[in-house]
Structure 1
Amino acid sequence: MQHTRPGPWLIAMAVLCFGLGLALLIGGVWLAALGGSWFYLCTGMVLVAISVLLYRRKASALWLYAALALATLAWSVWEVGLDWWPLAARLDLVFVLGLLLLAPWTVRSLTREHGGGSDETTQQRNQAAYRRVRIPLASVLVVTIGVCIASWLTQPHTIEGRLPDRHAVLDAPGGSMTAGEWPAYGRTGKGQRFSPLAQITPDNVRGLDIAWHYHTGDVKRGKSDPEETTFEATPLKIGERLFLCTPHQSVIALDASSGDEIWRYDTQVAKDLTLQHLTCRGLSYFGGGPAAPSGGAETMSSGTDVPTASAARHATAARIGPVSDRCDAMLFMPTADGRIIALNPDDGKVCKDFGGGTGQINLWEHMPNVKPGSYYSTSPVVVTRSLIIVGGTVLDNVSTHETSGVIRAFDVRTGELVWNWDSGNPDSTRPLGEGATYTANSPNSWSISSVDESLGMVYVPMGNAPPDQWGADRSESEEKYSSSVVALDLETGRVRWVFQTVHHDLWDYDVPSQPSLVDLKIGGKTVPALVQATKQGELYVLDRRTGKPALPVTEQPAPSRSQQGDHVSLTQPVSKLSFNPPKLTEASMWGATLLDQLACRIEFKRLRYEGRYTPPSTRGSLIYPGNFGVFNWGGIAVDPQRQAAFTTPAYLAFVSRLVPRKDDKTFYVQGNKRPFGSLPALNENFGAPYAVQLYPFLSPLGIPCQAPPWGYVAGVDLNEGRIVWMHKNGTVRDSSMLPLPFRMGVPSLGGPLVTGGGVAFLSGTIDNYVRAYDMATGEQLWESRLPAGGQATPMTYMGSDGRQYIVVVAGGHGSLGTKVGDDVIAYALPPD
């Protein structure tokens, strides 16, 4: 006979099981009603029954719990196999609670006889019952440990392989350029992010150490800065100097071998700008030389006086600082108030002969809907022998009354306008007459363009017309050029070809990254190719002469039901070379515990989800991949010698919920988080029928609802169009509640670098590390801790001391929440 009253410990265990069981029971009923798994409901019922048995001091509670633990293990393996992190989310609470139930003070409370005294017979019976009751549950927990160990030894998300060591060089990596230089954002106008330098190899890269460390002094300045205030710069290296820009628009020259500051220029941007982003990804460089014909098109002045709006005049009337009378070479700096400033790389002074004597171009010329800060070039401009070609970012999802996404070409020496390509008026590229304006609200190009001067084309990655999630009112030209790669003729600005990556884009799948131009051997023929990475995970390989696919692209069915009043495309283009993830299922849901995993399953069932290209809806749609993108502005790095690409796919689901608007003034989605000062009211979509709520698909604990990995590095054979190797990459050390370096695979933002020595570098993962990888196999070879988030693309060059340097910018990223910094760090092998 047992005691009728349990002790305090047993009461605590009963209450714990009852509380957990009740939560699972209530949530399980909700999930089952939505058509989901019955496991949680049944588990909740069993835990409630166990709590009653514990309170009544019934030893059968442990037997019943053993059966529950075994059923949970079997169900978990059935759902996700031997995949450790999904298993852990299903088993952790059950396992820990099982250990507590096996604790001696629990078991003895259940097996000690009433009035058991100290006689030997009673003690023996208690000991026998103690051992007998523990065996089933202990055995199940041991089996659980064995299954977990087995899962640690498997790599279900890994692809192992080896890229070829070297092909015949079809694409001269540097041309006439010195191998040790880095004079353009992607090293050349082809955007490969490849350097032929080979001093650093897989055999010696572990010897890299910090050579110098520079602080810019530029950090976020409080509430007046937008959330996405980011240090994303990739420095240029020309001669013995590095040139970079900072988030608050300073331009800095450093000694390339010592990191010492040589000069600094403050662009003195206008105040109170309506900024969605505050960043500068890099500068552009013109090396001088003989002038080339600009095509003979009519030109116009680009001085500081802007007749369209006094606000725009204010934006370009800022004092520009000391002037250089002669600039044989020039640096071009895009500013947050809509200017392009030309600087002398020798001394940082403004080039007097550029921009009609002002040293700058005013990008607000002929723009509609002038709101300083709502348009500027966040990315470096394209520079050719005769032109600079400029796109710009237009505010996303603020209103339907934004400025134009026009692409313009200016004379590289004078800053005079040569041609303009307005997607709203695509056939007329001559400069506009006085009083005329470009098409409002047209698709823009905020990312980096590439250029092939031998073919006479610039390749422009396009976004779509705002708002992103509502397309019923888009014009025919907006439909044609949105989310496309557009090849423009360098001489005239006219369209040579267009390739659309998404039809009727409702997902913010704008083309985010610089196209990479490389000559490939495909099907036995040499093809001048363009490789375009996209947010939805496609790598399109096109013939850059014609825009026709060099690797197969097929139109595949897409979800067909749109929000009332809009429409969708019934098919979408899918490349042979695709990082499109498997479709999410209820079993794909994750969480730190059974409870938040249950919450994720409930939300998954409540949302509309029919796979990739599920349209936004008032119900709320699950968008996967989300608008963070499988690939974003960092793009990929292409090794022309291996005919291969180093890529960094990321996988995060987002929720897109349309919110009906009744007027054009009410804040429907900002709530209590309305923008400070002049910052824009993002996602309100004033003028459209819907605002939009956009947010990552997270559990109540703030971790992704989809199971990891969330980020990889992958090597791609571009000739054959196949993924050769793919490994999860990065840890949650800097992004989890517990700062533990679990290697779960995390997203990155910022591009990779590939070198002729067969080593790739990446610093953009959301843990604060720069890492080196074997290009052939993807093996991680080296890592170094960064003082802040490294959301920028590294670069490399040869110093005057004969050492190859790797430079990383570590400044953090506001939207990702990585640590803010102002660091520029150079690594090199020890001197001989």
Structure 2
Amino acid sequence: MIVLSVLFLVIGLALLLGGGWLVSLDGSLYYVVAGVAFIAVALLLRKRNKIANLIYALLLIGTLIWSIMESGLSWWPLATRMGLFLILAVPLILLALFKRRSGGRLLLPVWVATALVTISPLFMTSPTTVEGKMTRSVTMSDADTGDVNQGEWNAYGRSNLGQRFSPLAQITPDNADQLQVAWQYQTGDKKGPKDVGETTYEATPLKLGNALYVCTPHNWVVALDADTGEEQWVYDAKVPAESQRQHQTCRGVSYLPPSNGTPLPPIQKESAPAESLTSMKCNAQLFLPTSDARLVAIDPTTGARCANFADNGELDLMHNMPFKQSGYYYSTSPPLVAGGVVIVSGSVNDNYDVNSPSGVIRAYDVKTGELKWNWDSGHPDDTTPIGPDETYATSSPNSWSVASADEKLGLAYFPMGNRTPDQLGMYRTPAEEKYATSVVALSLETGQVAWVQQFVHHDLWDMDTPAQPALLDLDTPTGKQPALVVPTKQGDVYVLNRKTGEPIFPITEELAPQGTIPGDYAAKTQPTSAFSFKPAKLTEADMWGATPLDQLMCRIQFKQLRYEGRYTPPSEQGSIVYPGNFGVFNWGSIAVDPKRQQMFGMPLYLAFTSTLVPREGADLTNANKGEQGVNSNEGAEYAVQLKPFLSPLGVPCQQPPWGYVAGADLKTGKTVWKHKNGTIEDMTPFKLPIKMGMPGIGGPVITDGGVVFMAASVDNYLRAYDMSTGEELWKGRLPAGGQATPMTYLNSKGEQMVVQVAGGHGSIGTTIGDYVVAYKLKK
């Protein structure tokens, strides 16, 4: 009795004091009332007064009514508000029944009733779920799926159209549950003790001839037999460790086919290390971007460097850079090979230094490495190759993601980032303002701008356009249009005419919050698309926690931070950024079915906080340890602290679900179905496969058989979904985190294979590994 009384007293004091703090911030009065009730129960328990059970019964009823008023009949909000209180009622009931007090007979039916209401949402459709079914009928029989052999995968998105759509149809919703592991390979390249936190394995292999080509985080290229997974050769770019990199990853390599349409020669398995070999001249070429800012041309047959390209197969991408800090510039995404050039864009470290390398986009002759044009958003009108003594613009907006191309139109499409520092806008020129956080269409021949569409004005939130645009033709009320579909971090999906840049779905301007630090400003309006997955504005009622106590702390944080909705400017007070810069969509992009004009995506909802830290007097000893945390912004007046909005227990402060899969009709821009996705199985020591709707990073692949493949979530599974309904058809256990986009191809026996790289993600905490896993149907 004494122990129970003390427990109730401690909880009551915590609720009362925290609740009083919340009320002083104009928050809910509930926690004060609950705290008083707990203290009253504690004191009455010491006196063995049966009124304790009556007060607790009233607390359960009141808490249930308050919870439903705030969040409705939704499982996770109800469970965490009621769960601890229902558990604490059990000893009160048992004690009263044991002592044969009437209070037990009163509390027991109240407990049963409130418990039944609390668990009732488990038997209902979640209010966040959208149920529907998309047609499997082909609406565009002549759809362009890219100039790629049916059983191959020749570019990051299968082709330069970036669709992530395969015409293969052996695997269907009827047989997907028969998938099994065909082979498994380990590269040997794992995260090391000197690596940065953001060491990730995000590669999508290419399939050329009967070989797979996959890069690793430390810029190895591995050639594998497509039938067996047997290693053929390994090229190691010998990238040195560098603590100032924000990322250590490789998303893929790019491919230049043999000239004159000749077939790719059979692969040669070499006994000598591939990096020690030098070919005289390569007919076909692989292009590997490295994290020490090189572009390497490799013979896909032997793994040897191509002597015809640049300097013995290597091109130094730091040429003509205004600043050359080690680790500040590199490419994590494969370059674009189109129109006789290989076009390289790069990543510039966010928020490290006002004076950083340029975000210039450069086109080189695919065979010689000669610079053909350069487009620098700091000097956007002059694309003639830069002179030997000239430099590109300092810290100009970069394109770190994957580009697409329409060679018939002669255009390349680049998703653009922001100028560093991301949260400080006073350093930007008018040209940089125009092209930041946009998609820009460049001429493949000259690099000149054809059009630009911006998605955030005066971006203060690191809302870089992160995803490769997907190109397909769409039926519209005015006829068939060449479309470009690009999702954004803030949740909008823009559908544009890729020839003109004109919107196919309307783009409107919405009023945005104002008020910034001195010397900066916030744009008065921000664009939004009629086709969007943007979330509703957060409220105090959306705050969440595993218990009422950490939920209370999240509510206090919510009231202390600045938040006026989407595009709340960063501040010294600390601002909530929602959606966060992790994005509703990130580099995993979307997949589109050009035959049925449908889209599959993985929208995520995680709030972040952004705090401007005056550099004068600040301790920045541990700054620049990755994108999350404190970044120093050398040369600026403010450093910036970015982090997820988490409770004291380390879980998101906003209630789940945090991650979904969704299917949409691109002809109408309507979401047909949306389901929560992923479990907490690999996020807790108890391996509980509870489906909460988890965040993830990675992308999907659609097949003509009506099956979508995607891993991405923070549990270690590759999943197959029914494209029509979103139903999960199958999942295969991965040996590590699957934070890469899968691909599919035909092996030499004509069998459809699905391959997933599984190596984990250093900053989101999934299982680290070095695996390439292939699946096929059981015979």
The TM-score range, normalised by the shorter chain, is: over 0.9
Matched to 1:45, the amino acid is V
Say whether the 8 Å CA contact 1:171–1:519 is kept in structure 2: no
Query: Counterparts of 2:5 and 2:320 in 1: how far apart (Å)?
Result: 73
Select the residue among 105, 113, 134 that pairs with 1:163. 134
Aligned length: 766
| Structure 1 position 282, deviation (Å) | 0.1
Partner in structure 2 of residue 452 of structure 1: 406
Select the residue among 348, 352, 369 that pairs with 2:323. 369
| Structure 1 position 168, deviation (Å) | 2.9
Say whether the 8 Å CA contact 2:195–2:243 is kept in structure 1: no
* 1:469 corresponds to 2:423: yes
* 1:225 corresponds to 2:195: yes
Matched to 1:160, the amino acid is E
Matches within 5 A, 1:525-604: 525-604=479-558
Partner in structure 2 of residue 704 of structure 1: 652
Partner in structure 2 of residue 655 of structure 1: 609
* 1:804 corresponds to 2:752: yes
* 1:261 corresponds to 2:226: no
- In structure 2, stretches of 5+ residues that fail to align are 262-273
Matched to 1:47, the amino acid is F
Query: Counterparts of 1:135 and 1:545 in 2: how far apart (Å)?
Result: 74
* 1:512 corresponds to 2:466: yes
| Structure 1 position 336, deviation (Å) | 1.1
Say whether the 8 Å CA contact 1:788–1:818 is kept in structure 2: yes
| Residues 43-75 of structure 1: CA deviation (Å, up to 9, x unaligned) | 101110111100011111111111111111111
- In structure 1, stretches of 5+ residues that fail to align are 1-9, 112-126, 292-318
Say whether the 8 Å CA contact 1:648–1:713 is kept in structure 2: yes
* 1:817 corresponds to 2:765: yes
Query: Counterparts of 1:600 and 1:102 in 2: how far apart (Å)?
Result: 31
Query: Which deviates more from structure 2 when the two are superposed, residues 83-92 or residues 161-170?
Result: 161-170
Partner in structure 2 of residue 354 of structure 1: 309
Query: Counterparts of 1:280 and 1:166 in 2: how far apart (Å)?
Result: 37
Say whether the 8 Å CA contact 1:667–1:684 is kept in structure 2: no
Say whether the 8 Å CA contact 1:269–1:337 is kept in structure 2: yes
Query: Counterparts of 1:522 and 1:172 in 2: how far apart (Å)?
Result: 15
* 1:766 corresponds to 2:714: yes
Select the residue among 270, 278, 287 that pairs with 1:332. 287
Partner in structure 2 of residue 179 of structure 1: 150
Query: Counterparts of 1:422 and 1:140 in 2: how far apart (Å)?
Result: 68
Query: Counterparts of 1:176 and 1:398 in 2: how far apart (Å)?
Result: 41
* 1:42 corresponds to 2:33: yes
| Structure 1 position 135, deviation (Å) | 2.1
Partner in structure 2 of residue 58 of structure 1: 49
| Structure 1 position 439, deviation (Å) | 0.5
Query: Counterparts of 1:26 and 1:757 in 2: how far apart (Å)?
Result: 59
Partner in structure 2 of residue 301 of structure 1: none
| Residues 583-616 of structure 1: CA deviation (Å, up to 9, x unaligned) | 1000000000000000000000000000000000
Partner in structure 2 of residue 386 of structure 1: 340
* 1:714 corresponds to 2:662: yes
Matched to 2:164, the amino acid is R
Q: CA RMSD in A?
A: 1.6
Select the residue among 690, 693, 703 that pairs with 2:638. 690
| Residues 737-788 of structure 1: CA deviation (Å, up to 9, x unaligned) | 5431110000110000100000001111011111000001100100011111
* 1:623 corresponds to 2:577: yes
Select the residue among 372, 376, 379 that pairs with 1:422. 376
Select the residue among 5, 9, 13 that pairs with 1:18. 9
Select the residue among 582, 585, 588 that pairs with 1:634. 588
| Structure 1 position 178, deviation (Å) | 1.2
Partner in structure 2 of residue 116 of structure 1: none
Partner in structure 2 of residue 297 of structure 1: none
Q: SS at the partner of 2:564?
A: coil
Select the residue among 212, 215, 233 that pairs with 2:183. 212
Say whether the 8 Å CA contact 1:170–1:520 is kept in structure 2: no
| Structure 1 position 290, deviation (Å) | 4.4
Q: SS at the partner of 2:276?
A: coil
Partner in structure 2 of residue 398 of structure 1: 352
Query: Which deviates more from structure 2 when the two are superposed, residues 794-803 or residues 270-279?
Result: 270-279
| Structure 1 position 641, deviation (Å) | 1.2
| Residues 222-264 of structure 1: CA deviation (Å, up to 9, x unaligned) | 0x21100011000000000000100011110000010000000
Partner in structure 1 of residue 205 of structure 2: 235
Partner in structure 1 of residue 271 of structure 2: none
| Structure 1 position 506, deviation (Å) | 0.5
Partner in structure 1 of residue 691 of structure 2: 743
| Structure 1 position 326, deviation (Å) | 2.6
Partner in structure 2 of residue 5 of structure 1: none
Query: Counterparts of 2:146 and 2:658 in 1: how far apart (Å)?
Result: 38
| Structure 1 position 675, deviation (Å) | 5.1
In the superposition, relative to structure 1, how do residues 650 and 176 fare at CA in structure 2: closer, same or farther (>3 Å)?
Answer: closer
Partner in structure 1 of residue 672 of structure 2: 724
In the superposition, relative to structure 1, how do residues 812 and 46 fare at CA in structure 2: closer, same or farther (>3 Å)?
Answer: same
Query: Counterparts of 1:100 and 1:229 in 2: how far apart (Å)?
Result: 48
| Residues 396-447 of structure 1: CA deviation (Å, up to 9, x unaligned) | 0101010000000000111110000011111110011121010011000100
| Residues 442-487 of structure 1: CA deviation (Å, up to 9, x unaligned) | 0001000000000010001010000011102211011101101000
| Residues 107-135 of structure 1: CA deviation (Å, up to 9, x unaligned) | 44xx5xxxxxxxxxxxxxxx4xx3x3212
Say whether the 8 Å CA contact 2:375–2:383 is kept in structure 1: yes
Matched to 2:51, the amino acid is S
Q: SS at the partner of 1:277?
A: coil
Query: Counterparts of 2:144 and 2:425 in 1: how far apart (Å)?
Result: 42
Q: SS at the partner of 1:532?
A: strand
Superposition TM-score, scaled by structure 2 size: 0.96
Partner in structure 1 of residue 80 of structure 2: 89
| Structure 1 position 508, deviation (Å) | 0.4
Select the residue among 92, 104, 108 that pairs with 1:101. 92
Q: SS at the partner of 1:225?
A: coil
| Residues 784-815 of structure 1: CA deviation (Å, up to 9, x unaligned) | 11111000000000011121000000000011
Superposition TM-score, scaled by structure 1 size: 0.90
| Structure 1 position 137, deviation (Å) | 1.0
Query: Counterparts of 2:421 and 2:467 in 1: how far apart (Å)?
Result: 20
Query: Counterparts of 1:716 and 1:674 in 2: how far apart (Å)?
Result: 39
Query: Counterparts of 1:68 and 1:707 in 2: how far apart (Å)?
Result: 22
Matches within 5 A, 1:61-210: 61-103=52-94, 105-108=95-98, 111=99, 127=100, 130=101, 132-154=102-124, 155-169=126-140, 172-210=143-181
Say whether the 8 Å CA contact 1:484–1:502 is kept in structure 2: yes
In the superposition, relative to structure 1, how do residues 175 and 580 fare at CA in structure 2: closer, same or farther (>3 Å)?
Answer: closer
Question: Considering only CA atoms, is the larger Rg found in Structure 1 or Structure 2?
Answer: 1
In the superposition, relative to structure 1, how do residues 698 and 271 fare at CA in structure 2: closer, same or farther (>3 Å)?
Answer: closer
| Structure 1 position 176, deviation (Å) | 4.4
Matched to 2:616, the amino acid is K
In the superposition, relative to structure 1, how do residues 272 and 652 fare at CA in structure 2: closer, same or farther (>3 Å)?
Answer: closer
Query: Counterparts of 1:639 and 1:715 in 2: how far apart (Å)?
Result: 11
In the superposition, relative to structure 1, how do residues 176 and 497 fare at CA in structure 2: closer, same or farther (>3 Å)?
Answer: closer
Query: Counterparts of 2:45 and 2:168 in 1: how far apart (Å)?
Result: 69
| Residues 556-588 of structure 1: CA deviation (Å, up to 9, x unaligned) | 111122222210111111111100011100000
Query: Counterparts of 1:523 and 1:683 in 2: how far apart (Å)?
Result: 48
Q: SS at the partner of 1:203?
A: coil
| Residues 540-567 of structure 1: CA deviation (Å, up to 9, x unaligned) | 0000011110111111111122222210
